[in-house]
Structure 1
Amino acid sequence: MIIRQARHDDWKGIAQVHVDCMHSAYQEFLPSDVLDKFTYANREKRWEKDLPKAIGKGTMTFVVENKQGEIVGFALGGTMRDPRLRISYIGELYGIYVHPDFQGQGFGKKLLETVAQHLASLDLPSMALWTFKGHPSCSFFESLGGEKVYDKKTTIAGKELKEYAYGWDDLKSFSVAAEGLN
């Protein structure tokens, strides 16, 4: 496993992981018309445009590669965007995705640790994120020490959902080996 900072030319691999994860992990949560918009062409176009902004100025995207050098996951983080959480959590994990074929192998844990280390290096001592209530990611975040700190209702395409915020008060508690980070 190699975890490294994303490069400008990683947009296609990131888009493929993003689409496959959305279709696999969010069918029970998001309306089909929302998921139908997550196509390879759509996400490739968006990531090609947005990736340069997501790898600089405090925001950072990391990718994980398998042994064949293929991108099988990514995570991005930066400063907290949500004013409700900003009082206690200065950093935010904006998103973390590991391709369904590669979940359960430690890639997600290493990506989360890498984002936490990056945020700590920017003097952002704490981090939070949002996920849907009942989503399998809840147990993942809890297993890594995340605590439910806030909840809210949100409506997506007419469907009301509940979201949980998970937070970590001390990012120094994450130890990330420097091996494999480029």
Structure 2
Amino acid sequence: MALAFDIREATPMDSDAIGRIHVEAWQATYAGMIEPGYLARLDPGTWATRWREAIGRQRAGRVRYGKVLVICAPDQGPVGFGSCGRTRSQTLPYDGEIETLYIHPDWQGQGLGRELLVALFEELSAAGFLSALVWVVAANPSRFFYEAMGGERLAEKTEPFAGCPVAQVAYGWDDLVGWLSAWR
């Protein structure tokens, strides 16, 4: 029997779980891609505080648009999270952006990322966004997930991160309504 997962808007009470997922997913995913000392210094408590503040600003309406969602396993609480909002890109003609999407390493490979991405696209579409993009570390094998989900490779850039240059790739969906209709 398959477990039923719940996707809902994050609350400040979810921040500790989100901080833990954020750190553990980064440490598992980016080993060998990002400076090891940076990954070792990641602190779940620090990230929990950052996420608590971000969720609080969103819930208070102090950002133009943004949403954090959690995916919860029965009797477990959050096992993944994602955030979306207005695009941060100044050069690509996409109005929405998937800012984060992390599933705890123990829960990966079960389709939860797909469910969460669909829910984030639904949030963006309901808020009037017509298109969306996501930036992914180019060496991250998860980039193939976005390709499998119909993302079109749009652009590349290299930016400094933790003292090292990190190559990134953008994937985009130019018709969220059409994508969601086809997905359903």
TM-score (norm 1): 0.90
Give 3-state SS (helix, strand or coil) of 1:84's partner.
Answer: coil
Structure 1 ranges of 4+ moved more than 3 A: 54-57
Partner of 1:6: 10
Aligned residues: 175
The 3 A distance-change label for structure 1 pair 37 and 54 is farther
Residues 96, 130 of structure 2: 8 Å contact kept: yes
1:142 aligns with 2:147: yes
Give the structure 1 partner of residue 99 of structure 2.
Answer: 94
**Larger RCO (CA within 8 A; separation ≥ 6):** 1
Give 2:33's aligned residue.
29
Aligned residues of 1:54 and 1:76 also touching (Cα < 8 A):
no
**Equivalent of 1:164 in 143, 162, 169:** 169
Q: Which runs of 5+ in 2 are unaligned?
A: none
Match of 2:89 in 1: 82
- Confirm or deny: 8 A CA contact 1:74 1:97 kept in the other structure: yes
1:34 deviates by 1.8
Structure 2 SS opposite 1:129: strand
Q: Distance in 2 between matches of 1:66 and 1:125?
A: 30
Matches within 5 A, 1:57-136: 57-85=64-92, 88-136=93-141
Q: Structure 2-normalised TM-score?
A: 0.89
Q: 2:87, 2:150 → 1: CA distance?
A: 19
The Cα RMSD (Å) is 1.6
Whole-angstrom CA distance in 2 between matches of 1:18 and 1:32: 16
